[in-house]
Every structure is written in C-alpha cells, then in structure tokens.
Amino acid sequence: MGNSFTCISHEEEQRPKKSSAGRGKGGGSNTRKYMRRLSLSCSGSSSTSSSRKGVIKPKKKIRERHHQDHHGHDKNSHIIQEQTLAATNLLFNQTPRNSNYVVPPNFRQSTSSSGGSGPVSAVQSPKKSTCGFVRTSSSRRKSSVNPVIKPNQELKKVEVSETKRFVLVHGGGFGAWCWYRTITLLEKHGFQVDAVDLTGSGISSTDTNTITSLAHYSKPLLHFLESLKPNEKVILVGHDFGGACMSYAMEIFPTKISKAVYISAVMLANGQSTLDLFNQPLGSNDLIQQAHIFLYANGKKNPPTAVDYDRSLLRDFIFHKSPPKDLALSSVSIRPFPFAPVVEKLHVSEKNYGSIRRFYITTMEDCAIPVPLQEAMIKLNPPEQVFQLKGADHAPFFSRPQSLNRILVEIAKLPFKKSS
C-alpha cells in the first residue's frame, strides 16, 4: 500500500472521439480503452523502486529488499499492485475504513494491564491552540524567513549546496509513501531524493511486534547510509518518531550527513528515551491518550509490543489541516509502530552526533506533538536554527507541502560552516 498515490496522477484526458462511422457496434469502446489505460497506468507506475534495502525512489520500479538479500526480486509485487489499485479506488470514492483492532475507551485503559503509561503532553500557559492546548512562547530566535508561500510563487533551483541529496525518514506508523508531495517538489528544484521505509513500515514485510530495538527499527536507514560513496553526503530529514532513528544514524555515520532536519520530530538529548520525553509533567490531553492503542503480541501480562492509532481519531489527532484524500491514503496505509524503541534510551556523543548541523521545524497546529513539547525538546537540545511552519498539523507534508519545501530548500542553501 506504500505507494498508492502514484496512481492518482494518471492521465485522465480521453482521446478525441471518433465519428460513429469509424466505430463498431457498442459505443463503449472508448470507455474500454480508457479503463485499459488506467489499469496500465497503475500497474506500470504504481511502484517506486529501490536498489537498497527499504529505500523507495520515485518514478522507478522497485525491488523489495529482503533482510539478508540486497538484490532479491520483489516477490510481493502482485500483492502490492492489487493493494495499490484498491487504495486508489478508495481515494476517488472516499470510502471509510474500519480499524482492525478493538478501540478501548482511552489510551490509559488500553495500557493498564501492563502497568505502562501512555504519552501525555501539553503545557499550561497563556495562549490556546486549535487542539485544546495552551502554548508557551519560546525565547529562541526564529527564522527571519517567512515560510508561507504565496500562490504561484516559484523557487529557483539550487545552484550551490554542500549536497543535493535528501533522505527522508518517516514517523511512527507512517511509511515512505507519506513523502510523495515532498519528493515531487524537491526533485522539481533539482534535488535527488530518497525515502526510506523503516523496519515493519510501508512495504516492509517484517511483523512490527518482533522489533525489539532502535537499531532493528532503523536498519534500512543504516544500510542506506552505509552504501553511500566514500565522500558522498546527504541531508537527513526526520518526522515524528523518525527523529529518534535519525539521531541514532547520526551517531554511527556522522561523515555521511551534512545537515539534519527535524520536522515536529523526536529530538532526544543524550540518555533520554522517547517515553521519557512524553512522560514529562507537561499537563494532559485526552486526545493523545485516546488516539493510541497498545498491542500485546506476548499477552497483557508482558510489556506492549507495538502501538497503533484509533482510525476514527486520525483526522482530529494528526490530519485536521490536511486534504481529505491524504487522510484517506493515510487511513489505509498507516501501520502500528514498535514499542521497544520508544522506551530505549538514546546514547549520542558530541564528537559524532554533535558534529552535524541540526535544524528544527515546528508545526504550529500540531496535536500529536504539540508546540510546548516541541519547544521543550528545542530548549533541552538546541539546534542551529528553528523554523515555524504556521497552519501545519502533524503532517506538514500534506497540510503545508509548499511551505515545507521552501524551508527545506532554504536549509539546503545555507552556506558551508567553516571548520574550526
């Protein structure tokens, strides 16, 4: 299901109608030709390709990389094609999808049997947001550039940059599919773009409940960075829980990364876990508690193995500023994300992780990682520069794709930092 969006852009213009004299019986010939074209369009371009494990490249056929075989052919391409067609049909007809899991009354009740505590957030302070949170004001200097793009405003292609290659890392439950707008916009401005499916996400066949560490979850990203040419560098971009995976990779491959961009992402300090971050005394929010569902593959007497989303709350929780078709795509594509990496503490050093230039993009209408929590991460682990993305929900690649692209291009164009 990871790439059902590719069928949305098929050619819908029908060929000019021929005169009735040139047509045989049955006036539906044009319709049949159109349906054949639609079928070919979806089957031929639906999938993206990858020469590396878990990596999706747009506009090319992909080979799904197996865990121990870097060059194995995609054995599930037929299944993926059928899923792609089904998702496309759903996008055009706006058919709702029911969750595969029973939704508990709220997040806390779903975790009570294991004694775990779910993520809580939101700071009590003067300004209210659309999510019911009260916001705080950051004392950090914001970007002087207005990230909002006027209609029909064009960005010039990048001419000077340390690297013209982006690697996009999705958040918990998402997949490489969520970056389709960002990929298109960045490529339009002359960049090479890759999007990675983390283990158990997107088209990965791994059962999410079997992922037991941050290293396991981040493995496709690590393989990708390892496969780069000796002097090649990339700009890493992470969203949501993908920020933790990105930080982990930065510690291992500091010479492969020129800049790191966190988009409403988990940006942990040394020795901190994602669970530690969300357990900070920042108040409470019923929506955050109710939107998550703990899964127990090993029984409720043992810790949770994965976390899923209540599909009925996706719009309010993540996509309240996003287009309906992107919500529909997400509803059928989102998967549970592993719980073990959430509780694992991240260990990074100033020599490796600290040597990479970091930037943070705050999403100002975010209900999943609200502004107070984003600001707390920024204060604890300050990046080089902070950008505000106004009017963006937790999925800015859907709700504010043009503005997000503008900021990413600006970051890529920032001048080289002289080594001391």
Active-site residue set: 240, 366, 394
Q: How would you class 173 by CB atoms within 10 Å of its CB: exposed for 0-12, middle for 13-18, buried for 19 or more?
A: buried
Report the relative pairing of strands 55-56 and 192-196 from DSSP bridges.
Answer: antiparallel
Integer Cα distance of 305 and 228 in angstroms: 33
Strand partners for 357:
259
